[in-house]
Structures are given as C-alpha cells and as structure tokens.
Chain A
Amino acid sequence: MTDKHLSSQFDSELAHLSSHLLAMGGLVEAQLRQALEALTDQSDEIAEAVLAGELRVNAMEIAIDDELTHIIARRQPAAVDLRLLLSVARVTANLERAGDEAAKIARMVRSIVSAGSHSLPLSDLRLACDLAAEMIAKSLDAFARLDTTTAITILKEDIVVDREFDGFVRKLITYMMEDPRTISASLDLLFIAKAIERIGDHAKNIAESVIYVVKGADVRHRSLTEAEAEIAEITAAENAEKIMDAHIDFGQTRHE
C-alpha cells in the first residue's frame, strides 16, 4: 500500500518535471519564432525582446536542474525512470543552448539593423530558420508523446538543415567576392546561419533523447541508417517479447 502510494507520488513528480521541461520548451520555441520575426522585419525592438526572454530561459534551466537533482537523490530511480530523468537533463541543456542561439540571432539582427540594410540573401535564411524552429517544436511534440516515428523524421530533417547551411555559405562567398563592402554584413549573416544550423543539431539531440527513453538505444554519433537499423531491431525484439508474454499468460490461465 505504502509502496503504491510512494510510486504514484513519484509518478506525479515525474509528470511535474515533464511539464516544467515542456513549458521551458514552449518558451524557447517562442524565442525562436521571435528571432525569426526580428530577422524578417529587421526589427530592433523584437530583437531586444528576444534578449530579454533569454534570462527567463536561463532561470528555467536552473530550476529544472534543481528539481531533477532532488528527484534523483530521493528516489534513486532505475530502468525507464532513470532513462527519462537522464533525458530530461539532456533536453534541458539542449533547449537552453537553442535559446542561446536565438539570442545570438537577435544580437546579429541588431548589428545588421544598426549598420544599415544591404541587398543580402535574407529570404534563404528565413526558410532555414523556419525549418529549424519547426524541428524544435516537433522534437518537443515527440518528447511529450514519446513518439519515436517523429523523432526519426527529425534526424532526417537535420541533414536537410546542414545541407542548406553549406549552400548558404557558398552563396555568401559569392556575395562577398562581388562586393567587398558587404563583407561585414555577410559575416553577421554567416553567424546567423551557423546559429540556425546549431538549432537544428539541438533538435536532433532532443529527438535522440526521445529514442533513448522509449527504446533504450543510444543513437548518438551514429549514422541515420545505423540508428534506424538498431531501432528496428529493438522494436522487433520487443514485439517478440510481447508475443512470448502473451503465450506465458495464456499458459498460466490454463494451468489454474
């Protein structure tokens, strides 16, 4: 009885922790959308708002880490609970860094605005930034639903963002060669592009954490095909186990 009571309290602690983590995720998502808006409208004010929001993201990171430490110290979790807590720690760190990148974009936008406008390829960046923000949103959805299918699609999308980044760098170089006066603005854009690329990486890391919680497979630093193969293997094993369990259950009821 006591045991059940304790574990259900543990469950509610975990639920709270997830809620806080996803609330932080929502904040980072909003930061990214705002940074994108600042970039699109070339707005100094919106960029300022992003920089202000960054402080809240940092505060939430510390609060979640604190909560996490307390839970681990008191409950000494194992198996899936331990994987979940480890993943919460990883996701928090990744979200905080994605938030940092959003702030970085805002800072660059301010620098571009104060330097005056140039005819630089901003629309490409907007598309990439939109894609990266969407990836973060999707990775958080996948975390909330513990949905590995979406997590795998995010791993694939990260490849697209990386490719966009490479293409963008080549494009910027042609701009800089054509007109050396655009170099300093181009460098700002390069930093923005790099920040967007990093946001994509953070989304990918979050997706990997989802896979780790659900499947127990660590697919970090693996190629996409390897990761997919491992996940398929684990799923197959799980299914086999389920069938075995069903047989055992059946057998037991027969014997009674």
Chain B
Amino acid sequence: MNFIVILLALLLAVCVALLLIERRRARRFVRWITDPAHNPMPEMSATWGLAAAYTRRALGREQAHANESAARLATLLAALDALPVGIVLLDREGRILFCNAIAAAHFELDPARDRGQHIVHLVRDPAFVAWHEQHADTPLEMTAHPDAPGLSSRLMVQRQPYGDDCALLLFTDVTAQRQTEAMRRDFVANVSHEIRTPLTVLAGFVETLQSLTLSRDEQTRYLALMAQQTTRMQALVADLLTLSRLEGSPPPGMNERADLRELTTQCAAETHALSVRLYGADAQKIEIETAPDFDLAATPAELRSAMSNLLANAVRYSGAKGKINARWSRENNGGARFEVADNGPGIAPDHLPRLTERFYRVDRSRARHAHGEDGTGLGLAIVKHVAERHGGTLQIISILGQGSRFALVFPQARVVAGQTEKSL
C-alpha cells in the first residue's frame, strides 16, 4: 500500500518535473521566436524541434517577402526623391506621408521628422492654406519659403487626388518662366523707348525746319544734330539685327578661320578713330598689340564685332585721360584670351552681374550726356553672345576708381596655329 502511494507520488513528481521542464522549454522557444536577435536558440526535443523548424521556415519565407517589399518601396521612394519637381503625398487629413528632396528644399521641411505633420502647419502661406482647405482643382501660384535656396522662387502647385481620399501635391518651379516673361516685357519696352527718344528729337527738328525760316548756319547745325540721331537709330537697329542673328543661327563650325592679326589691326584703327573723334588727337593713350602668333576657329565678323565693342566701351567710359591696353595672349590651359584694360571709373560690384543684360546701364544719365555719341546698350550683350557661341566666356573684373578689365576667353579647341608666316 505504502509502496503504491510512494510510487504514485514519485510518478506525480516526475510528471510535474517534466511538465515544468517542458514549460521552460516552451517559454524559451516563445522568447526566441519573438526576438531571435537577443535570445539564444534553445536546444530542442523532438516535438519542439519540429515546431521550431517549421516555424523558422515559415518565418524565413515571410522575412524574405518583407525584405523584397521593403526594397521595392525604397526604390520607388528613391525614384520619387530624384524627380526634378517637388512632390508631397498627403493622407485624407492633410498630413504629410512623404515629401521628396525638392519639396523639402522649397519649404524647409525635414522628410523624416515631418512625416505625419499637417502640411498647413509648416507651409503657412495664407494663400496656400485657403487653397488647400478648398481642395481647389485649379493650380495656385505661390512663393517658396523665404529662406529656401534661390531667392523668392515662384512655385506652381497642383493637387492630384489618388487612392482613398489621399492627395498628391506637385510643385513646379516657375521662377525662370516668370523671369523670361518679365525680360521680354522689359525688352520690348526698352526697344520702344530707345527708338522713340531719337525719333522725338528728329520730329522736333523737322517741325522747326518746316515752320521757321532759319539762317544757313542754324540749318547746318540742326541737320548735323538730326544726322547724329539717325546714326544712333541705325546703330541700334544694326545691333538688334546682330543680336537676333547671333541668337537664331547655329554656332560657328570649327572650320571657320579668323585672322587675328588682320582683325586686331582693323579694330585698332577704328578705336583710334573713335578716340580722336570723341576727345581729339593725343588725349587718350591707346596701346593695342596687333601681333598674336595664333588664329581662332571663329567667325571673323562676329569676333570683330565683339572686339570692337569692348574697345569702343573702353574709349567711351575711360574719358579724355583714358589709358587703354589691349592684347591677345595664351592661357595656361592652352586657351586664348583677348583682354581690354582701361583706367576708367570702374563698375560697382552690384552692377556686374547685370552688365550683360540688354539695355542695362550703370548710370543712365551719364551714359546719355557725357558726349554726343554713346552706345546702344546692347554691346556687352553681343560680346557675351559671341563668346558663348564659340564655347568661351566674357570675364569682367572691375574696381571702382581704378578701372576695368574685360576679357574674351576662348577654349583651346578653338585655337589654331597662325597663318601669318605662310602669308608673309
């Protein structure tokens, strides 16, 4: 009897022990399966081992699937991020689901931190907030964040609904477009103004000549003034035609040849003549080196126009005591450089970036009244165009009160050995 009771108790104890061991194994197994990274894989008996093997296989498949999906999503988001327009995805409440790099730059957003943030909390422009709340279909033009790169860029925003009440906002930068429009308007206004001024003068003299009887001397004087105005209009029209030709024609080929020696000699003669006409003989000191030992693959007419524009500017702006130096030289990198230096009044730094704009003048009143003959306001625009068409650049260095240096720089590809020796 006793023996049976002891046996039963023993059996029970063994059972309980086994149960406890099994429980511990189960717990270890669960711990490992929920967080395999931090818990060791338990040793397993047959049942648990089988369960573990199956589970592990299923988990592995699931994991591979998840990895694949994540990779695909990452590629897709990277593609969205690389788009050249700003994109913001919003959920039905107007919270940011995703925004790409361009949109983030426009509004100083942080793509990671600002996910889940209401867009109107961060883009608070009243016009945008009103537009956003109306769910308007029409695009809205707005300004980017004032601190965003590219000062006060204009953006066009469009809403595209998708999915379950979500929306895609598309931000296109229209700054360049607006600038072009403004430039075109300014250009037309400027041309009209530049032509109307000499025309008004001309009309005034014509009226005078018609209505008054004038002495011979007066007539001669008025006719001379009228001739001056017509010359100015002719120069303007000629420059406008040059510009439109430069814009409309294909860039000059590499088989063009410009004989620098001949061109420089011609330009030097013109420059001396202009200086004498404006300030009298021996007023300005002009030194132009006319003997470069190389030529350029460039259109002679264009190059000549660019060179003479730079020289004429130097003559006009450096005044009666001007000193002008001009020469061709080779750059260290094999390119060619035509530099015109003067000791004129110089140009303030804030004007420099706009100097090559059409009709831009540093000082309108002085340019107009300093002497009878002045430029058309298109000269540097032509020079810059010519340089760019030949793959070169126009460099301007100027210090107020000390003078200016204008340089045409051409790449090595355009430089060819001089023909001067052959022709000699």
Which residues of A approach B to under 8 Å, CB–CB? 15, 18-19, 22-23, 25-27, 29-30, 33, 133-134, 137, 140-141, 144-145
| B126 interface neighbour in A19, A27, A134, A137, Cβ under 8 Å | A27
A19 touches B122 (CB 8 A): no
A22 touches B120 (CB 8 A): yes
C-alpha spacing A26/B108, complex, angstroms? 15
Residue B125 at the chain A interface, CB threshold 8 Å = yes
A22 touches B125 (CB 8 A): no
| B146 interface neighbour in A18, A19, A33, A145, Cβ under 8 Å | A33
Query: Count of chain B residues with Cβ under 8 Å from any Cβ of A?
Result: 15
B146 touches A144 (CB 8 A): no
B124 touches A25 (CB 8 A): yes
Chain B 235-250 interface mask (CB, 8 Å, partner A; 1/0): 0000000000000000
Q: How many A-B residue pairs have CB under 8 A?
A: 43
Residues of B within 8 A of A18 (CB): 118, 121
List the 9 shortest-distance A-B pairs measured between CB atoms, nearest first. Answer: A26-B124, A144-B121, A22-B121, A27-B126, A30-B126, A23-B129, A26-B126, A144-B122, A25-B124
C-alpha spacing A22/B121, complex, angstroms? 6
| B117 interface neighbour in A25, A26, A140, A145, Cβ under 8 Å | A145
Residues of B within 8 A of A27 (CB): 126
A141 touches B122 (CB 8 A): yes
B146 touches A134 (CB 8 A): yes
Which of the listed residues B118, B126, B129 has the most CB atoms from chain A within 10 Å of its own CB? B126
A22 touches B113 (CB 8 A): no
| B125 interface neighbour in A30, A134, A145, Cβ under 8 Å | A30
A22 touches B114 (CB 8 A): no
C-alpha spacing A26/B126, complex, angstroms? 6
Smallest CB–CB gap between A20 and chain B, Å? 10
C-alpha spacing A141/B124, complex, angstroms? 10
Which residues of B approach A to under 8 Å, CB–CB? 108, 113-114, 117-118, 120-122, 124-126, 129, 145-147
A selection of 14 A-B contacts at a CB cut-off of 8 Å is A19-B121, A22-B118, A22-B120, A23-B120, A27-B126, A29-B125, A30-B125, A30-B126, A33-B146, A134-B146, A137-B124, A137-B145, A141-B108, A144-B122
Residues of A within 8 A of B108 (CB): 141
A23 touches B117 (CB 8 A): no
- State whether A23 and B126 are in contact (beta carbons under 8 Å apart), knowing that A18-B121, A144-B121 are contacts in the complex: yes
C-alpha spacing A133/B120, complex, angstroms? 18
C-alpha spacing A144/B113, complex, angstroms? 11
| A19 interface neighbour in B113, B118, B145, Cβ under 8 Å | B118
A145 touches B114 (CB 8 A): yes
Residues of B within 8 A of A137 (CB): 124, 145-146
Residue of A nearest to B143 (CB): A33
B129 touches A26 (CB 8 A): yes
B120 touches A134 (CB 8 A): no
Residues of A within 8 A of B122 (CB): 141, 144-145
Q: Using A29-B125, A141-B108 as known contacts, list a sample of 9 further A-B pairs with CB atoms less than 8 Å apart, ordered by residue number in A.
A: A23-B124, A23-B126, A26-B125, A26-B129, A134-B147, A137-B124, A137-B146, A144-B121, A144-B122
A140 touches B146 (CB 8 A): no
Residues of B within 8 A of A145 (CB): 113-114, 117, 122
- State whether A144 and B129 are in contact (beta carbons under 8 Å apart), knowing that A22-B124, A33-B146 are contacts in the complex: no
C-alpha spacing A137/B124, complex, angstroms? 9
Residue of A nearest to B121 (CB): A144
Smallest CB–CB gap between A108 and chain B, Å? 22
C-alpha spacing A133/B145, complex, angstroms? 12
C-alpha spacing A19/B126, complex, angstroms? 12
C-alpha spacing A33/B124, complex, angstroms? 13
Residues of B within 8 A of A15 (CB): 118
B124 touches A19 (CB 8 A): no
Which of the listed residues B108, B121, B147 has the most CB atoms from chain A within 10 Å of its own CB? B121
Residues of A within 8 A of B121 (CB): 18-19, 22, 144
A29 touches B113 (CB 8 A): no
Residues of B within 8 A of A140 (CB): 124
Residues of A within 8 A of B117 (CB): 144-145
C-alpha spacing A23/B121, complex, angstroms? 7
C-alpha spacing A134/B146, complex, angstroms? 8
Which of the listed residues B118, B120, B124, B125 has the most CB atoms from chain A within 10 Å of its own CB? B124
